[in-house]
Amino acid sequence: LTLTLVIAESSIELVPNEIAGHSSVRAQAIRKRKDPRKLILDQSYHHAAILKLGSSGAGRGRPDIAHFSLLTALGSPLNQEKRLQCFIHTFDNHVVTVDTSARLPRNTDRFTSLLEQLYEEKVVPDRGRPLMSLKKQTLQGLLRQLSADLAVALTVNGSPKEMSAVAGELVEAENPVLLVGGFPTGHFSMDTVKLSTRQYRIDRRPLEAWSVVGRAIYDYEKSVGLDRF
């Protein structure tokens, strides 16, 4: 029994061409000795450049969300028991496969640099067992690859259900997939909603993605009896 977690539509992308010449991007490119277009867009450094994108810039450049969510997921007992599989899907349709035994950098800047290396080389590290690999893939393609028979999307727009009850449904499936949004504001696209089997809201409050990941995994652990001493 394995659970697959997909951090979906994550706010991760390379710096778009329109703002590659912006001073905030250029300054960071010089610091990192990199071509500006090989940098991952990052709100903490490119805030002023992202503003130039107008309304289309909202919520973009947040690799920290996927980072925190992954750290939470990979540190769980479920993952230690090798019963969790993690993917990052990005809003521009790349999929990062994360090895269960990956020890990710604790520091977000270092995680972001690892993503930059991934976009260039498709796999990190460049030698030995891959910790992460990247390919161009849609969420639909990923769900098909996983033979998902149940894809639950967690969203404030879903029908209210306690996470323990949602976990009870997940354990009944052969290949359950849990979708949590890797973005700071807004909602899943219609495409994602249509690809999911069910949509649930697990708290009356909007929560951060990593808190949702932590709760979802813990309740799933309880459903499969992993919480017993």
111 with 30: CB under 8 angstroms?
Answer: no
Interface segment toward ligand SAM; rule CB under 6 A; list 24-32, 39-47, 97-105, 183-191: 183-191
What's the CA gap between 121 and 124, in Å, rounded? 7
Residue 207 contacts ligand SAM per CB under 6 A: yes
Is 70 a binding residue for ligand SAM by CB under 6 A? The answer is no
Q: How far is the CB of 8 from ligand SAM (least distance, A)?
A: 8
Q: In this chain, which of 104, 150, 156, 226 binds ligand SAM, going by CB under 6 A?
A: 156
By CB under 6 A, residue 166 contacts ligand SAM:
no
Determine if 212 is a binding residue for ligand SAM (CB under 6 A): yes
Question: Is 167 a binder of ligand SAM (CB under 6 A)?
Answer: no
Kindly tell me the burial class for residue 193, based on how many C-beta atoms sit within 10 Å of its own C-beta (0-12, 13-18, 19 or more).
middle
We find the least distance from the C-beta atom of residue 210 to ligand SAM, in angstroms, to be 9
Instruction: Please give the radius of gyration of the chain, using alpha carbons only, rounded to the nearest integer.
Output: 18
Rule CB under 6 A: is residue 201 a binding residue for ligand SAM? Answer: yes
| 138, 146, 203, 222: residue in contact with ligand SAM (rule CB under 6 A) | 203
Indicate whether 161 belongs to the interface with ligand SAM (CB under 6 A): no
Residue nearest to ligand SAM (CB): 181
How many angstroms separate the first and last alpha carbons of the chain? 19
Residue 198 interacting with ligand SAM (CB under 6 A): no
Judged by CB under 6 A, the number of residues near ligand SAM is 18
**Among 37, 122, 187, 222, which residue interacts with ligand SAM (rule: CB under 6 A)?**
187
By CB under 6 A, is residue 202 in contact with ligand SAM?
Answer: yes
CB of 195 to ligand SAM, least distance (A): 14
Instruction: Choose, by CB under 6 A, the member of 29, 96, 195, 209 that binds ligand SAM.
Output: 209
Peptide bond into 36 cis (omega under 30): no
The binding site for ligand SAM (CB under 6 A) comprises 154-156, 180-181, 183-185, 187, 201-203, 205-209, 212
